[in-house]
Amino acid sequence: MRTSYVGWLAALTMMFGQLGQLIAVPARAQTVASLQEVVVTARKRPELFRNLPMTESVFTPQSIRSANITSPRDFIAMVPNMTLVQTQNVGNAFVTIRGISQARNSEPSVAVIVDGVEETDPEQFAQELFGIQQIEVLKGPQGALYGRDAIGGAIIITTTPPSDHTQGSVTLGVGNGPAERARGIVSGPLDSAGTLKYSAALSFYNTDGYLENTYLNRKADPYRDYAGRVRLLWEPGGALTADLRLAYDRVQTTAYFYVIPRDDEANVFSSFTTAANANDITSPIQVNNEGTDNRDILDIPFKLDYRTDYGTFTSISDYDQTKEIDTGDAYDFRPINTSIANDYFFATIPAALGGPLDESQSQFIRVRSWSEDLRFTSPSKERFTWIAGLYFLHKERFISTDNIVDRGLGVPAVYETPLVAPTNPFATNTNVTFLADGQKSNAWAAYGDATYKLTDQWEVDAALRYDQDKVSDTTRTPPYFLRMVLDPTAYDGEVRTETWGAWQPKLTLRYKPNDAWTLYTDWSRGFRSGGFNQTGVGAVAVANGIKGVNDVFNAEIADTFELGVKGDMLDHRLSVDADVFHTHSNNGYFFVYLSQNSTQNLGNLNATYKGAEIQLTAYPTDHLQVYAGYGYTDSRITKMADPTVLGNQAPLVSRDTVNAGAMYLHALTDGLKGTARLDFQNIGRTWWDPANSTSRDPISLVNLDLSLQGTQWSLTAWSKNLTNKIYNAEFSPGGFLWRALPRRYGLDFEYRF
């Protein structure tokens, strides 16, 4: 039965309203006005949130703490018209915002900026969040300032800066799974003059997992994360500021524990006829290989600011590297004896060669990038302000994907060289397939933004950026395995080169009838670079009746018109943030898995996205905060090589979202207070492929946090997915289901010094 989110919201408001009437609290709580005074950096200069002429969700230190935000999925769950799918392996995290989505091996749908530095690899997105000062989520194309990865929006994350005096905190936590968490951050000056300051943060998280593997009789998703960050800030006085950050993150977990339902579990061939069903939660996880997933991220950005009377010169240099190796079970993700591979695909392999046999799989990704952002920002207090900049990026990427003979002896990690037994191609733990590519990308951009205050009420902003991305793809697949691609023209060492580029303009008009309200309208264009499928994929797709998939997928262009209003009323007791939008996308991405040559591929389609959002934050009493948000997106495929899908919903789009909650703050004694917070999310009907072969029913999720806070400590009991909703986080074409996390809960203790 579908949960009524209207009923949830009504019950939520009534519960906390009654609590507010029963308890008289002498302490003063936050007001809406405090949010209006938050300083944001959406336009690459500091300004008040209430004056910002764009749709943005802001998470302050208070909201990050009270909502127990420890990963991207936590804050995305609180943003209307925004969803996240984490699947397959830790590096695969797909953000969908206002319908603009991403897929495996694609460029991201949103730009992610940490301390002014853009993440150049979408594999980096799913990380633990700690030592975070503020999070900003911008909606709509932001390419005019943030470039080719900001076609759907931008996420701006600011870490806690070094402090003027020594201070810090330690957090210890336990939870079901079982799980344990430890975090520490310390900050302060390194010299007596206070010109050189530092902050250092460490994080450790470990859990045995939450999802049952019924075949191995243990958890399918153990997870361990080690992360650390050091930041040095040098302010010698006068004009110069230097900011150096070193960050490292290592994740150890598992991958590929998909579920593919069967109508008849005893009949291996029923998998071919079982109808696609994104709502199937009856089939268990039963892979015979636990697999591994190890990801390492290293990021070293260096920022220089030089201030003059005329403005500020900024240089941001960055080096980052991501490596991820995944191993695990393969189609159809079942024990060897009941798998389709063993009983059908390889049933004819003679016993002398070790047949029949099953398959496992491995994937290796390594990405290195060097980037430089140079810009000049004029003083902020002038009537006319402007920004001009240049951006350069060099990126090197290697990826190999393969299937391996599986006889229950584990899965070897395959990196750049396939495992081959010359006398027996079906020997244990040899490669059945192997595909590899090396890519080099050289991108550059020039951008500018000009803002002019026509009067105290009217402001116009014009921004423009040109991005160009030249990508060379080199085939690194040995000749023996290239024959399996079914393209006689493919050869090892083949180089394919494409250049994609586009202008990304944005024009914004703002009107402030008074200090409390902001009305705005804008038109913007976003650009996302194209890329390469494996050589010969187009021919394989045509031969198997798959349309819209070629050896090269094109760059995407999205144009958006938006009209919005934000402000507060009732003596700052109620804030309103609402907008309507219309987006037309050319060459958006969709994902296709071709089992014929075991390739993951992207195709192109055109679509329109129309929708609206509203966010309300209210303080019925001085100590009770209630918020509610609603987002609606109607998507339609307008053009594709397969004409039968025209008019369908675009892939990965959720029709609507509801985000609501309440927080109550109660002063118990002097220096001791209690906080209760309940957050609710409803994700509406969601489609997964252009054919709309199945859709997931709406799902409702609830989080609860109860906290006691002293002057230097806090104790928090928390739960994610409190009602233990069981559902699938993803349906992938081919019938692949990825199970979402069930209920998690725990207890955290923090001490501040």
- The pLDDT value recorded for residue 557 is 97
Structure-token match 């789009």, residue found: 653
Q: Identity (one letter) of the amino acid at 63? A: S
**Which residues span the domain enclosing 741?**
5-752
Structure-token match 């002896």, residue found: 409
pLDDT band at 526 (very low <50, low <70, confident <90, very high): very high
Contact 438, 390 (CB under 8 A): no
Q: Determine the average pLDDT of the residues in 199-210.
A: 97
H/E run at residue 9: helix 5-22
How does DSSP assign 291-335, residue by residue?
-EEEEEEEEEEEEEEEEETTEEEEEEEEEEEEEEEEEEE-TT-S-
pLDDT band at 91 (very low <50, low <70, confident <90, very high): confident
How does DSSP assign 568-600, residue by residue?
EETTTTEEEEEEEEEEEEEEEEEEEEETTTTEE
Q: Which two tokens stand for residue 200?
A: 């250092």
Q: Determine the average pLDDT of the residues in 510-523.
A: 96
Q: Determine the average pLDDT of the residues in 173-201.
A: 95
Q: Determine the average pLDDT of the residues in 240-251.
A: 97
Q: How far apart are CA 261 and CA 284, in angstroms?
A: 9
Taking alpha carbons only, the member of 548, 504, 507 closest to residue 529 is: 504
Q: Determine the average pLDDT of the residues in 36-63.
A: 90
H/E run at residue 558: strand 556-569
Q: Determine the average pLDDT of the residues in 565-593.
A: 93
- The pLDDT value recorded for residue 160 is 92
Does residue 4 carry a pLDDT above 70?
Answer: no
Does residue 587 carry a pLDDT above 80?
Answer: yes
Q: How far apart are CA 699 and CA 453, in angstroms?
A: 45
- The pLDDT value recorded for residue 726 is 97
- The pLDDT value recorded for residue 165 is 94
Q: Determine the average pLDDT of the residues in 188-213.
A: 96
H/E run at residue 169: strand 167-175
- The pLDDT value recorded for residue 16 is 35
Q: Which of 12-21, 395-404, 510-519 has the lowest mean pLDDT?
A: 12-21
Does residue 507 carry a pLDDT above 60?
Answer: yes
- The pLDDT value recorded for residue 28 is 34
Does residue 544 carry a pLDDT above 70?
Answer: yes
Does residue 322 carry a pLDDT above 50?
Answer: yes
Q: Which residues contact 722 (CB under 8 A, 6 or more apart)?
A: 702, 703, 704, 743, 745
Contact 157, 114 (CB under 8 A): yes
pLDDT band at 237 (very low <50, low <70, confident <90, very high): confident
Does residue 310 carry a pLDDT above 70?
Answer: yes
- The pLDDT value recorded for residue 104 is 84
Q: How far apart are CA 600 and CA 592, in angstroms?
A: 6
Task: Give me the percent of the chain exceeding a pLDDT of 70.
Answer: 95
- Number of structural domains the chain divides into: 1
Q: Please, what's the b/e burial string for 425-464 (b: 16 or more CB within 10 A of its CB; e: otherwise)?
A: ebbbbbbbbbbbbbbebebbbebbbebebeeeeebebbbb
Does residue 8 carry a pLDDT above 50?
Answer: no
Does residue 593 carry a pLDDT above 50?
Answer: yes
pLDDT band at 670 (very low <50, low <70, confident <90, very high): confident
- The pLDDT value recorded for residue 22 is 33
H/E run at residue 157: strand 153-159
Q: Which residues contact 212 (CB under 8 A, 6 or more apart)?
A: 219, 220, 284, 285
- The pLDDT value recorded for residue 2 is 41
CATH assignment of the domain containing 26: 2.40.170.20
Q: Mean pLDDT score of the chain, rounded to an integer?
A: 91
Does residue 19 carry a pLDDT above 80?
Answer: no
- The pLDDT value recorded for residue 676 is 96
Does residue 11 carry a pLDDT above 60?
Answer: no
Per residue in 601-629, pLDDT tens?
A: 899 999 999 999 999 999 999 899 999 99
Per residue in 451-462, pLDDT tens?
A: 999 999 999 999
Q: Determine the average pLDDT of the residues in 382-403.
A: 95
Contact 639, 606 (CB under 8 A): yes
Instruction: Provide the 3-class DSSP secondary structure of residue 505.
Output: strand
Q: How far apart are CA 231 and CA 162, in angstroms?
A: 7
Q: How far apart are CA 284 and CA 267, in angstroms?
A: 16
- The pLDDT value recorded for residue 35 is 56
